[in-house]
Copies of this chain bind each other. A is one copy, B any other.
Amino acid sequence: MQIEHKNELENHARLLVKCPDKPGIVSIVSTFLFKHNANIIESNQYSSDPENGTFFIRIEFHCDNLKDKQTMMENDFEQIARDFDMDYKFFYLNSRQRSAIFCSKELHCLLELLWEWQNGDLETEIALVISNHENARTIVESYGIPFYYLPANKEIRKEVEAEQIKLLEEYQVDLLILARYMQILTPDFVDHFENRIINIHHSFLPAFIGANPYERAHRRGVKLIGATSHYVTNELDEGPIIEQDVERVDHRNDVVTLKKIGRQIERRVLTKAVKWHLENRIIVEGNKTIVFH
């Protein structure tokens, strides 16, 4: 369901909870919402194991005059959270998350994101785009989005990252999207944005970790190629996987063709992951994701 009217957004929120599984959680949370006159729109839950496992729930709810009540609700929820040892967060749809996109020369993922965003299908403000190439400037600025050209390479990594972080903070960015950004990020940088950097890797991980996956896929003679979107951690291509997809290929496809086919997979896989993140559908648990869709 798409929420379209501004005043609907104002009364719309999501609650994400993670806690040790034990009886009564759904009862207490749903009763809490009911008592605050909140109406559940959508609810998804998952338990890693009903006996001593971890319980996860995502509830999307509507509540008249939410703005006036949200502080009180959060205060009231505190006690429940303590009793059940919950990690939790309320997300309010009246304040949109702010995203930054990093890209390099290849623009298919950037274009797909801009397109979906323009259609109103991504719940975000695109605050800025940063690239180590100039070729995205025209298209980005045509959407009225600030564009920054920051050349990047191994030698000047530290300095560039300092500038990038400055910009991301200045623009108050919540989510960083690596739309085929071809530079490695340092652990320092990654630590600034834990579980808030989404990358697209051009293979079905864990196959072909690292550079040149299409060349290596071609050399290995695989019959499927794929792409993987994941949160960035400090181990290359090892972060929690959000989404993957593949397409069929055959012996006739050279590397150039694999890349063409791959671009179609990459743009749709990255866009899905970003969309789900923005809709608060993803919970990271260890090195895995729970995606409520």
- List 20 interface pairs A-B (beta carbons < 8 Å), by A numbering: A1-B254, A2-B257, A26-B26, A26-B34, A26-B43, A30-B31, A31-B31, A39-B50, A40-B50, A41-B47, A42-B47, A46-B251, A206-B220, A207-B207, A220-B288, A222-B244, A223-B244, A224-B226, A251-B291, A264-B268
The 10 closest A-B pairs by CB, nearest first: A221-B288, A207-B207, A27-B30, A26-B30, A27-B34, A27-B31, A223-B244, A251-B290, A24-B34, A23-B39
Given A27-B27, A34-B24, also A206-B222 (CB < 8 A)? yes
Interface string of A192-225 (1 = CB under 8 A from B): 0000000000001111100000000000111110
- Distance to closest chain B CB from A124 (angstroms): 17
The answer to whether B207 and A251 touch across the interface, beta carbons within 8 angstroms, is no
> CB-CB contacts of A233-266 with B at 8 A, as 1s and 0s?
0000000111111100011101011001000100
Q: Cβ of A251 and Cβ of B288 under 8 Å apart?
A: yes
- Tell me which residues from 65 to 118 in chain A have a Cβ below 8 Å from any Cβ of chain B: 111, 115
Q: How far is the CA of A257 from the CA of B3 in the complex (A)?
A: 12
State whether the Cβ of A33 lies closer than 8 Å to any Cβ in chain B: yes
